[in-house]
Amino acid sequence: MRDFSNDHSALALNTATLGHNLDGYGAGWPPERVIDACAERGLGGIVFWRREIGARAAQIGDRVRAAGMRVAGLCRTPYLTGSEAGSDDEVKAGIDMAAALGAPVLTIVTGGTDPGTKGIADSQKRLAGRVAQVAEYAGARGVSLALEPLNPMFGGNRTCIFTVADALRICDMAGAPNVGVAVDVYHVWWDSTLADSLQGAGGRIMGYHLCDWLHDTGHMLLDRGMMGDGVADLRAIRAAVEGAGYDGLCEVEVFSAGNWWKRDPNEVLDVMVQRFRTVC
């Protein structure tokens, strides 16, 4: 397992941790200011959200690389399943944005169960078909697609995959070399089968997302903890992820409308670095 106590070059910021410019949250920093603040602190990369990029993907990507960092990824595709599923053109537009930004990975939050279905089997079959359909388009543009399983409390409207095992099964069904999984602490910390599932990942881990699960979480989407403030066994999870072969950036993604999004972003970034080096 890597030693981060004196080296945080493997640390990446997901801009959601600063409120990612949602109305009323965070300081509303433009991408350029976020880039400069991350570079000043020696971070290795940044992950953006599509809403922040607009028509400036190439410009923003160039700015990150000029600052000595990597664009680690882009969040996220439109939903692929469920009542709010996006069109093929919308999904392809997200892939095009990732390519222009120079992001090697576009995260997939799948969307929920399809209307009129029961359980998750039918939705997962549709998901695998749509992933296979867009994977070829993404591969031609140098973009990989990372399926992110979500905590079961998001079942129904946001996801139809809940575990790494679910995600890997969809990868197998899709049969595309540029499709893998993203492992987010918030969504998998509870899964007692996680380490065993990761052993079957076979190099398909495309992202590792850090935060914490608060003991008394107050909102299922917008009350994540900063690393060390909750009950997730962060080092055990990272040991399992790295034991399966992952050696990429570790992306901090903290949705926290009542706490961290209300703080000065400079404080958030400084605490993030300190926690990464001491508790992750």
For the chain, give the percent of residues with pLDDT over 70. 99
pLDDT score of 21: 65
Q: Is the pTM of this model over 0.85?
A: yes
pLDDT score of 3: 97
pLDDT score of 152: 96
Separation of CA 133 from chain center: 22
pLDDT score of 248: 97
d(CA 52, CA 267): 21
Provide the 8-state DSSP code for 212: B
pLDDT score of 26: 73
pLDDT score of 254: 97
Encoded amino acid at 1, one letter: M
d(CA 147, CA 176): 12
pLDDT (tens digit, 9 = 90+) per residue, 83-118?
999 999 999 999 999 999 999 999 999 999 999 999
Angle (CA) 191 210 44, round 5°: 145
CATH code of the region 11-279: 3.20.20.150
Residue 60 contacts residue 36 (beta carbons within 8 Å): no
d(CA 149, CA 160): 8
Q: Does residue 199 have a pLDDT over 80?
A: yes
